[in-house]
């Protein structure tokens, strides 16, 4: 019976896996940045998806930061009562290439609470509420 050596195959297997994984990663695009033009639609989509009633009359600013394959868009808007509000929409792609969005908001009945977004020197993003009795909701 002839002897079959699998040693060459063992060396080829890791390189084949690396090439396969890199090709899969190439097919997943970077998360889209939310712009002034797309912020209204992004807010509407997230309101419908989560059942949150965030009425808005205008959007005044969109600031986007990217970190670790995620896009964080801070959206300042005015609600229908004329109050300034802020939400952050996080956008990323899951392992199957599906777009995932989370919306972050702060609320309190004791203060005019806003969400704040900062970038750290190590490339991470911090989200926090601006006053102590606030609660951050993630949907």
The whole-number pLDDT of residue 71 equals 92
Residue identified by tokens 């190590």 is 122
Non-local CB neighbours of 82 within 8 Å, separated by 6+ positions: 57
The whole-number pLDDT of residue 52 equals 74
The tens digit of pLDDT for each residue in 57-77 reads: 888 999 999 888 899 999 998
The whole-number pLDDT of residue 11 equals 40
How big is the CA angle at 92 (ends 113 and 36), to the nearest 5 degrees? 60
Mean pLDDT of 107-118: 89
The whole-number pLDDT of residue 47 equals 76
Strands 125-129 and 99-107, bridge-based pairing: unpaired
The whole-number pLDDT of residue 44 equals 81
Non-local CB neighbours of 122 within 8 Å, separated by 6+ positions: none
Average model confidence (pLDDT) for the chain?
A: 78
């Amino acid at each position: 019976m002839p002897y079959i050596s699998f040693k060459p195959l063992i060396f080829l297997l890791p390189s084949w896996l690396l090439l396969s994984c890199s090709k899969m990663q190439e097919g997943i695009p970077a998360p889209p940045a939310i712009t002034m033009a797309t912020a209204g639609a992004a807010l509407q989509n997230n309101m419908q998806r989560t059942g949150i009633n965030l009425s808005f009359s205008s959007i005044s600013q969109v600031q986007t930061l990217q970190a670790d394959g995620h896009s964080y868009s801070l959206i300042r808007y005015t609600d229908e009562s004329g109050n300034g509000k802020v939400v952050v929409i996080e956008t990323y792609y899951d392992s199957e290439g599906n777009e995932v969005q989370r919306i972050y908001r702060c609320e309190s009945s004791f203060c005019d609470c806003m969400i704040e977004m900062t970038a750290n020197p190590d490339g991470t993003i911090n989200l926090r509420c601006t006053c102590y009795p606030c609660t951050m909701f993630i949907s």
